Amino acid sequence: MRERPRAAAADGRDAASTRAWEVAATVTDPEIPVLTIEDLGVLRSAEADGDRAHVTITPTYSGCPAMDAIRDDVVLALTAAGYTRVDVDLVLSPAWTTDWMTETGKEKLRRYGIQAPTGRAAHRDGPVRVQLAVKCPRCDSLDTRELARFGSTSCKALYECRSCLEPFDYFKVI
């Protein structure tokens, strides 16, 4: 179980695998194009041996339609980088969590107008769901309210800011 995919690549056995990681890490989310799959924590591992590459990714949500596109794009990116045999595996376990999103990724999200997950995912047996205030990505106000728990995609909720009156997306903690 690897909690930190980037560290796993950096510690990786060889430079070849690190290179495959770096190529796969250029793939972006089709619905949030400012985020790479590395930023999202979707890229779990990459290994290379000669012209073969083996990449493991994890779905964000079970039904997320972006996964097909991401998998396509990983194959295309690695093929374009010269790998002739590319395997991409999807792993469900350990289940993806927004805790794996990188700080860089969260900052990019905010600049893109989507508030990043606030706090960390609850311990599964935790007793209470604490609703932390969600900051407006435009004006930084904490005076916001949830309009809809389920937003334009599974991963987002729709909020409005009561200070600047703008609606915004919030990337839910999961």
Q: What is the 3-state secondary structure (H, E, C) of the chain?
A: CCCCHHHHHHCCCCHHHHHHHHHHCCCECCCCCCCEHHHHCCEEEEEEECCEEEEEECCCCCCCCHHHHHHHHHHHHHHHCCCCEEEEEECCCCCCCHHHCCHHHHHHHHHHCEECCCCCCCCCCCCCCCCCCCCCCCCCCCCEEEEECCCCCCCEEEEEECCCCCEEEEECCC
In one-letter notation, the amino acid at residue 19 is R
Is residue 94 part of the contact set for another protein (CB under 8 A)?
yes
* Chosen residue from 24, 35, 46, 75 binding another protein by CB under 8 A: 75
By CB under 8 A, which span of 6-14, 88-96, 133-141, 159-167 interacts with another protein?
88-96
Encoded one letter per residue, x for contact with another protein by CB under 8 A and - for no contact, window 120-159 reads -x--x----x-----------------xxxxxxxx---x-
Nearer to another protein, 8 or 174 (CB): 174
* Chosen residue from 79, 102, 118, 141 binding another protein by CB under 8 A: 79
Nearer to another protein, 13 or 124 (CB): 124
| Interacting positions 44-73 with another protein (CB under 8 A) | 56, 59, 61-65, 67-68, 71-72
Residue that the structure tokens 């793939």 belong to: 27
Nearer to another protein, 94 or 104 (CB): 94
- Interface positions with another protein (CB under 8 A): 56, 59, 61-65, 67-68, 71-72, 75-77, 79-80, 82, 88-97, 121, 124, 129, 147-154, 158, 172, 174
